[in-house]
Structure 1
């Protein structure tokens, strides 16, 4: 490869060329073939470019067998080298532009070095964990610890979970040799109607029982209080972050309305038990059935459980959790946001901090190699979960209005 290939590499690398591409076909001024650009100061094809370089570097003594007046074109350019070289010189090709082999190698090395400097690998972008990034993570951790009641010791004065008046009476025929002639049985099911007779076939002895079946929206008041409690913590978390306080009040409100549920889901994941598929919130635990009893539908709950299992299996550090919270909070495309570019810039800084943390604070492994991409995938998936959750809430309220003022304010963005 010679100096012209290096020139092409440099043009591709720098994003520029020797001539403007106006869409018109370029013609070699030496032989009329299709030209590939300016070579040694003239527009020529690859053939004439190579011929000129060889002829000059070999210092050939060429002579025309005719009268130095051969017509050079695409078809006969090989017939007379002397007239072809003369034509190259006549169109302006300069022999002083031909580089020596040593100069070619030096230029090749220089271009390669510049390419490496201007196009570093992703790992080189975040090979260090800067002091600014370290302070950011420390501040976010401090804000998280102050605003997330991990053991739910302050979750009090919530509406009762199982008041008797939420149950409906029905008569159930249950086969059992253990039941007395009259008993009270609790059946956790939202599929039975308010008043019904259920027959369970069996060859065993049976008894007639009085059964209390919980209403479909039994857990709605309690779950509403729980989510409101979590959202209050999220709001306090955001207020501690300087980047958030520097925004206008309008943008602060827009970001909180748009992201509160996503941050709640992230925090709920920190208390999620993958093996039992439950949320362990201090002395209270919540299961799939509890959310059904709050009015949520299975097509929403199954992806929600899958998401929690997927995120929990990443085994995130608390630092990665809080950076994930910050990434969800600072999303410039939330409805009602005005300073989109400012917020997107902050989010990008959080993303680079997360990448730097993973690369410098975790041991190199196949799992950690793709951890950043997996976390970003979860952040994207949270948007879908947020939208589906909002649809569920609004549907529940249409049937069973039961919410807190804070929930109504948060979900007003989705009901407009």
Structure 2
């Protein structure tokens, strides 16, 4: 019979012996399996804003709520949303997000939480540019200036063609305008290819972004060449047209809207760098339809937004509201571009021949960009030569 002492000793020995024997590691817990994305049925990455969803739908919903996006369905507001079709109709995708239970408040609460975390850092912020943002600003500014000379660099010339009264279409002015617009589109493609990171996107996404934003950037560019004293706009070869001539050159019912937008740009006093950055932000936008990798596009846009914000506030320390006002112009540009595309449809019935190929393709088919985006950027030329429609045009030449 064992005494209590010897019994304890045996227990201690037994315990000690067990501790010395290495135990086999416990198997890892099985990976957590989520239900498929409630919105598109793709593989879910977890519960986001109240429902099981994939990264794509999570990001789409967050961007839509944070940016107060308003989408339009071009069909019957009942589009099928799945992994393949989810990027085709943003309106129906957002409605599906709401239908399955995604919460607006969850997005706002998440955003407020992040704001609270960085509040202390934001106090007294001097808006210092990091070396990376400095380099980005320089590259974007250079890309803009080398593909679009500023007004002060141009030798202006005018024409008397239909300068005093509006007509449906002045064919001479239309021919000249369509020639210049074609050259401007080529320069916008070149500008895009010079933007850091743009050519790292898939060819399909490069084409999608260019097709979606080309008209926006074209309108922004011509509106920065507005001279309010004469109520004129100047093209890249120096041709300067008044409001009546712009109407007769093909702008038609769009004319007053474009001139009003140009007038609204004046108080912003944007320089070439800000115009270039705003153009880049307009182009590199993850909310465009049919993108393969919208999240990647958004990541490219983020430093551009930060660069414009800091640059604008450093340039105008006492006007912090200028940066959001600049961003609001993108919404205005999209509205003008939509009406511009509508105008192109009626214009095709007014011109005697076909629409110039590059303009036609920009408005309807993205294939025309495929060859352009796959080529390396053109060699740098002086702005006044690179963007001119032809070296043999004299100032006296009229459309």
Band the TM-score falls in, shorter-chain normalisation? 0.5 to 0.7
Greater relative CO (CA pairs within 8 A, separation 6+): 2
Q: Following the alignment from structure 2 to structure 1, what is the Cα–Cα distance between the partners of residues 141 and 277?
A: 9
Partner residue in 2 for 1:339: 293
Q: Deviations over 1:127-170 (max 9, x none)?
A: 32111111000011121222224469999xxxxx889xxx9xxx
Tell me if 1:228 matches 2:205: no
Matched residue, 1:199:
none
In the alignment, structure 2 segments of 5+ residues that lack a partner are 1-113, 367-399
Task: Report the equivalent of 2:326.
Answer: 375
Which of residues 188, 192, 196 in structure 2 aligns to 1:238? 192
| Correspondence list, 1:228-307, <5 A | 228-281=182-235, 282-298=237-253, 300-307=254-261
Q: Is contact 1:239–1:245 with CA below 8 Å preserved after alignment? A: yes
Question: 1:362 and 2:339 equivalent?
Answer: no
Q: State the alpha-carbon separation in 1 of the partners of residues 118 and 264 from structure 2.
A: 37
1:63-111 CA distance string (max 9 Å, x none): xxxxxxxxxxxxxxxxxxxxxxxxxxxxxxxxxxxxxxxxxxxxxxxxx
Counterpart in the other structure of 2:385: none
Which is further off, 128-137 or 116-125?
116-125
Alignment of 1:3-402 (within 5 A): 117-120=117-120, 127-150=127-150, 188-190=165-167, 216-281=170-235, 282-298=237-253, 300-359=254-313, 361-365=314-318, 368-400=319-351, 401-402=353-354
Structure 1 residues 228 and 131, CA, compared in 2 at 3 Å: closer, same or farther? same
CA distance in 2: counterparts of 1:154 and 1:317, whole angstroms: 16
Aligned residue for 2:75?
A: none
Mark the CA change 1:396 to 1:152 in structure 2 (over 3 Å): closer, same or farther.
farther
Per-residue CA deviation, residues 210-250 of structure 1 (Å, 9 max, x unaligned), is: xxxxx554422221111111111111111112311101111
User: In structure 2, how many angstroms separate the alpha carbons of the residues matched to 1:385 and 1:148?
Assistant: 21
Deviation at 1:364, TM superposition (A): 2.3
Computing the radius of gyration from Cα coordinates, the structure with the larger value is 1
1 or 2, which has the higher strand percentage? 1
Residues 185-231 of structure 1: per-residue CA shift (max 9 Å, x gap): x963427xxxxxxxxxxxxxxxxxxxxxxx55442222111111111
Q: Distance in 1 between matches of 2:363 and 2:281?
A: 20
Q: Is the 8 A contact 1:126 1:356 kept in 2?
A: no
Structure 1 residues 295 and 332, CA gap change in structure 2 (3 angstroms): same
Which segments of 5 or more consecutive residues in structure 1 lack a partner in the other structure? 1-113, 156-160, 168-185, 192-214
For residues 128 and 344 of structure 2, what CA distance do their matches in structure 1 show?
Answer: 44
Instruction: Report if aligned partners of 1:217, 1:294 keep a CA contact under 8 Å in 2.
Output: yes
Output the CA distance in 1 between the equivalents of 2:213 and 2:316.
Answer: 32
Alignment deviations for residues 308-338 of structure 1 (CA, whole Å, 9 cap, x no partner): 1111221112221111011111112223321
Cα contact 2:139–2:196 (8 A) shared by 1:
no
Counterpart Cα distance in 2 of 1:339 and 1:301 = 36
TM normalised by structure 1 equals 0.54
Is the 8 Å Cα contact of residues 258 and 413 (structure 1) preserved in structure 2? no
What is the root-mean-square deviation in Å for CA atoms of aligned residues? Answer: 3.1
1:384 Cα deviation from its structure 2 partner? 0.7
What TM-score comes out, normalization by structure 2 length? 0.56
By how many angstroms is 1:373 displaced?
1.0
Once residues 363 and 296 of structure 1 are traced to their aligned partners in structure 2, the CA distance between those partners, rounded to angstroms, is 34
* Superposed displacement of residue 276, structure 1: 1.6
1:404 to 356, 378, 390: 356
| Secondary structure at 1:337 match in 2 | coil
Q: Give how far 1:266 is off.
A: 2.0
Structure 1 stretch displaced more, 215-224 or 132-141: 215-224
Deviation at 1:385?
1.0
Give yes or no for contact 1:143–1:237 (8 Å, CA) kept in 2.
yes
